[in-house]
A and B are shown apart, each in its own frame.
Chain A
Amino acid sequence: MQVSSYVAMEAAVSLSCYYPEPADPANDPNPPSFNNGLVDADTDHPTPRYASQLGYHGYLSGIKASSGAKLVAYQNLDDFWLATGATALNILDVDWVTNQIDHKPDDRSGLGQYLNGTYSGPMFQRGVGIYQFTRIVSDPHEAMSYVSRSRTRALGAEPTKGTPTPPGFQSVNLKTIYQFSTGRPDHSGQFQRNIQLMYGNETGVPWGESLYHRLMRDLNVDP
């Protein structure tokens, strides 16, 4: 498959995926912006960090070189589902960061649990005693879904102050350019917002370029 444009819209993908895994972790020349809440959670319950360990960091770092595509990230640091939202029901954690903190590794009550063994690494365990079943997790997608915790926010919930866009990416700051906010409709706002707000703000002042025009341009489709 040939990819000419890669547009990540409010993407629920760890920012660290797009940064190269450093040869020396103690001296990373180009580190992503870490979220200390996630880093702190990992000190209590360590999980794999780098792609070579079945973690996130570096997993998609070669995307530019391998695809040659134009890479664009549409970002809103206040995104409800990626960074700031919650529901009143305690049984539901809805935002991406809280999920990373509380459900990595995932201990699905009654259905078995994922663990990160000190020596064995990610594994899945079900049952107790002689009925216990244990399986080593070796698939990176399974590991990232259920075991490995991101140390960064999602790509779509950046940029925080001073954070560079991932290498090779261009960015569209949905907050400052199109005034996206904390509301739920603003996640996937390109589909869920009032259509008038794709062209200008509430007082009728038009955006320099409408969001749809910008999107078509980034998708390499001549408007």
Chain B
Amino acid sequence: MKINTKLVFAAILIVGVTAIVWWVLPSRSKPTKATAVVPVPTTTIKVDGNATAPVAKQETAATPSKPRLFRSKTYPPQTSDEKAMWEWWRSMRKTDPKFEWKMPIEFYGKVVDQFDEPVAGAIIIFDWTTVIGSSPDPQKRTESGADGLFELTGVQGKRLSVNVLKERYIYTQNSIGSFEYAAFFEDNFHVPDPSKPVIFRLQKLTGAEPMYKYLLTGRVPLDGTPFMLNAATGKVGAGDVAVSITLGKGRGAIGPDYTLNVQGNGGTVFAPSNDEFLFNAPESGYQNAFKVTQVAADPKYSLGQKLRCYMKTGTGKYAAVEVEIDLREKTNNAGFFAIIYYNPSGSRNLEFDQRKWLNP
């Protein structure tokens, strides 16, 4: 009985190993037009005359030489250069399905502040995806030099993410980036050029004052009833700001026409802004109400609205307000969310530094 058990286990093991070998050894890729794969010495890839690096260890006799790569969104390819890139792409995929993760990565960047002054000593975090090395998602860190410049060379991969940080600076939309090194048809395909470093921007804190930061949530009825809030205290239910929503008659596949109204009471006024940072409240240009209308037939129609504005209260204090509203017809109200940065001093300086946060 004992021998039989061993035999059964041995048989299962042999069948298992055979199945795995059968699964792994034959190519599982689709039939291709490429000719037989023949080993060749390590080859190199060159991007726009820049760095070279070893990549594939085998190549088909039919693999075309690597053309100059540039970003191209045209498909099917029209020009001879585009056709050459696609021919190379298809051939490489058949030759080495992992070639995308073996591209040489070179990157040149520069960190500046909001005044276009170079930022030295910023932390640069590189993340990329690769099949070279022990980890498929490696990370490397460096610092920007006195001139704000930094670079990454000597690694291989497909996608590079660059994130720039520094204490006493605030991240911006331009302090993080994504760069593709293989798929030339992607929007973020990147051709490195040391003479044209990619610019990353950080917002330098220049003199923040003690501020309150409030996160407010609530529901705005869809029947025009105002939703009240107080910017100075961060309370909802009563206050100097009234937000209301009225529905229109039109209706599309996504939702109804609607108008969002913001009204100031007791001398409170607003100045809508598209600035990335609402740090410097203007002296003038305020109005005591504004509204946003959405028409269902508009291709850009959305049930969600984001509003950003400066605010001056009836007592002469300033605040920066970011509001998000999303309509929910099922519940007959809209979700309301606001972040308010309120300076109790009366200064127009609304720069926010978490170290001077009065109500953390």
Give me the interface of A with B, judged by CB distance under 8 Å. Answer: 2, 4, 30, 34-37, 39-40, 43-45, 64-65, 68-70, 77-78, 80, 83-88, 90-91, 93, 98, 101-102, 107, 109-110, 160-162, 167-168, 170, 175-176, 179, 181-184, 200-206, 208-209, 213, 217, 220, 222-223
With a CB–CB cut-off of 8 A, which chain B residues contact A88?
A: 131-132, 136
With a CB–CB cut-off of 8 A, which chain B residues contact A84?
A: 129, 158-159
With a CB–CB cut-off of 8 A, which chain B residues contact A200?
A: 354
Q: Which residue of B lies closest to A95 (CB)?
A: B129
Known: A40-B86, A84-B129. 14 other contacts (CB 8 A): A37-B89, A64-B253, A87-B136, A102-B97, A107-B28, A162-B187, A168-B303, A170-B304, A181-B125, A201-B171, A202-B123, A204-B354, A205-B171, A209-B339
Known contacts A202-B123, A203-B165: A179-B171 contact under CB 8 Å? yes
Whether the pair A183, B97 counts as a contact (CB closer than 8 A) is: no
Whether the pair A90, B328 counts as a contact (CB closer than 8 A) is: no
With a CB–CB cut-off of 8 A, which chain A residues contact B24?
A: 91
Known contacts A45-B30, A70-B326, A217-B335: A86-B130 contact under CB 8 Å? yes
With a CB–CB cut-off of 8 A, which chain B residues contact A223?
A: 215, 217
Q: Provide 15 A-B residue pairs closer than 8 Å at the C-beta atoms, listed in order of the A residue.
A: A35-B186, A36-B73, A40-B75, A40-B90, A70-B303, A70-B326, A84-B129, A109-B22, A170-B304, A181-B163, A182-B159, A182-B161, A183-B137, A200-B354, A203-B169
Interface: B115 (CB within 8 A): no
> Closest Cβ of chain B: how far from A4's Cβ, in Å?
6
> Closest Cβ of chain B: how far from A211's Cβ, in Å?
13
With a CB–CB cut-off of 8 A, which chain A residues contact B132?
A: 88
Whether the pair A208, B158 counts as a contact (CB closer than 8 A) is: no
Whether the pair B330, A86 counts as a contact (CB closer than 8 A) is: no
Whether the pair A160, B97 counts as a contact (CB closer than 8 A) is: no
Q: Count of chain B residues with Cβ under 8 Å from any Cβ of A?
A: 68
Interface: B206 (CB within 8 A): no
> Closest Cβ of chain B: how far from A70's Cβ, in Å?
6
With a CB–CB cut-off of 8 A, which chain A residues contact B100?
A: 86
5 pairs of A and B residues whose beta carbons are closest in the complex = A161-B187, A84-B159, A36-B185, A181-B161, A36-B75
Whether the pair A220, B335 counts as a contact (CB closer than 8 A) is: yes
Q: Which residue of A lies closest to B330 (CB)?
A: A68
With a CB–CB cut-off of 8 A, which chain A residues contact B254?
A: 64-65, 167-168
Chain B residues 25 to 73 lying within 8 A of chain A, measured CB to CB, are 26, 28-30, 73
Q: Which residue of A lies closest to B162 (CB)?
A: A181
Q: Which residue of B lies closest to A65 (CB)?
A: B253
Chain B residues 8 to 27 lying within 8 A of chain A, measured CB to CB, are 19, 22-24, 26
Interface: B225 (CB within 8 A): no
Whether the pair A44, B188 counts as a contact (CB closer than 8 A) is: no
Q: How does the 8 Å CB contact mask read for B88-114 relative to A, with 1 for contact and 0 for none?
A: 011001000110110000000000000
Whether the pair A176, B136 counts as a contact (CB closer than 8 A) is: no
Chain B residues 108 to 164 lying within 8 A of chain A, measured CB to CB, are 123, 125, 127-132, 136-137, 139, 158-161, 163
Known contacts A90-B97, A201-B165, A208-B322: A85-B188 contact under CB 8 Å? no
Interface: B337 (CB within 8 A): yes
With a CB–CB cut-off of 8 A, which chain A residues contact B185?
A: 35-37
Partner of A203, one of B159, B166, B253: B166
Whether the pair B328, A70 counts as a contact (CB closer than 8 A) is: yes
Whether the pair B131, A86 counts as a contact (CB closer than 8 A) is: yes
With a CB–CB cut-off of 8 A, which chain A residues contact B23?
A: 91, 109-110
Q: Which residue of B lies closest to A90 (CB)?
A: B98
> Closest Cβ of chain B: how far from A91's Cβ, in Å?
5
Interface: B173 (CB within 8 A): yes
With a CB–CB cut-off of 8 A, which chain B residues contact A179?
A: 163, 171, 176
Known contacts A167-B253, A202-B165, A209-B215: A182-B339 contact under CB 8 Å? no
Interface: B178 (CB within 8 A): yes
Q: Which residue of A lies closest to B305 (CB)?
A: A170
Interface: B167 (CB within 8 A): yes
A161–B188 alpha-carbon span in the complex (Å): 8
A168–B304 alpha-carbon span in the complex (Å): 9
Whether the pair A85, B136 counts as a contact (CB closer than 8 A) is: yes
With a CB–CB cut-off of 8 A, which chain A residues contact B19?
A: 110
Whether the pair B335, A182 counts as a contact (CB closer than 8 A) is: no
With a CB–CB cut-off of 8 A, which chain B residues contact A80?
A: 129, 136-137
Q: Which residue of A lies closest to B341 (CB)?
A: A208
> Closest Cβ of chain B: how far from A162's Cβ, in Å?
7
With a CB–CB cut-off of 8 A, which chain A residues contact B247?
A: none
Known contacts A84-B159, A203-B165: A110-B337 contact under CB 8 Å? no
With a CB–CB cut-off of 8 A, which chain A residues contact B86?
A: 40
Whether the pair B158, A86 counts as a contact (CB closer than 8 A) is: yes
Interface: B193 (CB within 8 A): no
With a CB–CB cut-off of 8 A, which chain B residues contact A175?
A: 161, 176, 178
